[in-house]
Amino acid sequence: MNFNFTKEEELFIEKVKDFIADEKKKPNADDVFAPNREADAQTKIDSPARREFMKILSSKGYLGMSWPKEYGGQEKPGIYDYILNEELCRVGAPSPGKGVGSIGQTIIHHGSKKIKDEFLPQILAGEIDFALGYSEPGAGSDLASLKLKAEKKKDGWLINGQKIWTSSAHVADWYWLAARTDSDAPKHRGISVFLVKMDHPGIEVHPIQTVGEHATNSVFLTDVFIPDDYVVGEVNKGWTYICEALNYERFTFYTIAPLEQKFKELVELTNQVSKDGMKLNIIPEVRKKIIHLYADVQKAKVLQRKVLSVAIQDEVPQAEAAVFKLFSTKLHQRLANEAMDILGREGLFRKEYKNSHAKGKWEWSYRSTLVDTIGAGTTEIQKNTIAKKSLKIPL
């Protein structure tokens, strides 16, 4: 397994870095780039400046680079999409997200001509955003147990029910919605995926306050009629499409850059912050923790490269992505926990406290990383995937 980038890939990395450097010089850079990525993530992702940044990425040819040329892509290896996402995450910039990624890829492989013609150009132009309608009050890790009902009517479907934990539902243009279309079929075989306009009068979005902010939503759908043309792929084949999309999300969404950047910032803080008159970086216990964290960040980097080595062969890295997601998200949480222990009271200050060296980064990470082991499949689901796909253990 070769962990080195090719010369062409290294040139592309430099090209992206130069592009980012130019963008950060613009007057509105503070509205796009979050120096404290996690603490500003929700506002940056949902802001008008973020949407404008997507259009700039599109104009530079950075969106959908691995897409087929017939759909506006460049047919570059998937490593180019990953490099772009990695470098954007490294500086707290908005990444292309699920439209270009999991949703766009699923539409390319399974969407009808009408859906491809309508959505792919808009996605590639950075003009539309999506929310994912998967989880329900009674269907989280066991997603195939979802109950949201889609009843067949003339020329379409009538949808009723509730979704929960739908991030970006309050700002998205379209809902990528999983619904049950056959209640009599086995649970994995009676699900279909729909594309639903978020401004449909039958849709109500209710904010859910998490610890410290509004980060997600509950969505109620009442008599929402969806024409047949907006069913993605085949009716009752939705579970296959959802799994494909989640596998793609696991190795594109969880890049290594945030871990590397956070670790670097923690090391820098230990050079600045003192405890009992001593710089943190000379305290033996702190040095020991830093060394262990460094080793684990390098392990995560190797696991991510393993995922990429499979993905660039046009194979689905199910087990590899699960291993990386399992290890890196737990490490993300541990990094935040260790930082809070190392920094003490300095780590507790929120970003509003101007005299803090940490600038709110670590108290936010301490809270926000809790969801890392839940999103895109819980820790338990990752272990099941590894058992089935890698160890061949029947479950």
Q: 21-35, 52-66, 317-331: which has the highest mean pLDDT?
A: 52-66
Nearest-angstrom CA–CA distance, 238 and 189: 8
Looking at the structure, give the CATH architecture of the domain made up of residues 7-96: Orthogonal Bundle (1.10)
Least confident of 34-48, 99-113, 139-153: 34-48
Q: How many CA atoms lie within 13 A of 264 on its CB side?
A: 8
For 18-33, what is each residue's pLDDT tens digit? 999 999 999 888 778 8
Residues of the chain with CATH 2.40.110.10: 131-236
Closest by CA position to 180, among listed 195, 197, 160: 160
Mean pLDDT within 114-137:
94
By the 8 A CB rule, do 390 and 321 touch? no
Task: Give the integer Cα–Cα distance in Å for 330 and 314.
Answer: 28
Structure tokens at 100: 């270009």
pLDDT-based confidence at residue 42 (cuts at 50, 70, 90): very low
Query: Would you say the C-alpha torsion 367, 372, 375, 380 has a positive or negative sign?
Result: negative
Alpha-carbon distance values, 82 to 33, 177, 226, 257 (Å): 19, 26, 34, 11
Beta bridge partners of 176: 132, 195
DSSP string over 161-195 = EEEE--TTTTT-SEEEEEEES-TTS-TTTSEEEEE
Strands 174-180 and 130-133: parallel
> How distant, in Å, are the alpha carbons of 53, 333, 356 from that of 363?
28, 12, 11
One-character DSSP codes across 85-151: HHHHHHTTPPP--TIIIIIHHHHHHH--HHHHHHHHHHHHTT---EEEE--BTTBSSSGGG---EEE
At the topology level, CATH places domain 131-236 in Butyryl-CoA Dehydrogenase, subunit A; domain 2 (2.40.110)
Terminal Cα-to-Cα distance of the chain (whole angstroms): 30
Q: What does the chain come to in residues?
A: 395
In a 10 Å sphere around its CB, with 0-12 CB exposed, 13-18 middle and 19+ buried, how is residue 203 labelled? buried
Question: Where are any strands of DSSP class E within 276-382?
Answer: 278-279
Question: What contacts 114, CB < 8 A, 6 or more positions away?
Answer: 229
Which position has the higher pLDDT, 53 or 4? Answer: 53
Q: What mean pLDDT is predicted for residues 330-335?
A: 95
What does pLDDT average to over the chain? 87
Which of 239, 117, 121, 123 has its CA nearest to residue 174?
Answer: 123
Pinpoint the residues of the chain covered by CATH 1.20.140.10: 254-389
What is the pTM (predicted TM-score) of this model? 0.85
On whether the 254-389 domain is CATH 1.20.140.10, my answer is yes
Q: Can you give the pLDDT at residue 2?
A: 60
Dump pLDDT digits (tens) for 132-150: 999 999 988 888 999 999 9
- The most confident of the ranges 126-130, 178-182, 321-325 is 178-182
3-7, 134-138, 149-153, range with the lowest pLDDT: 3-7
Tokens 């594109």 found at: 252
CATH 1.10.540.10 location in the chain: 7-96
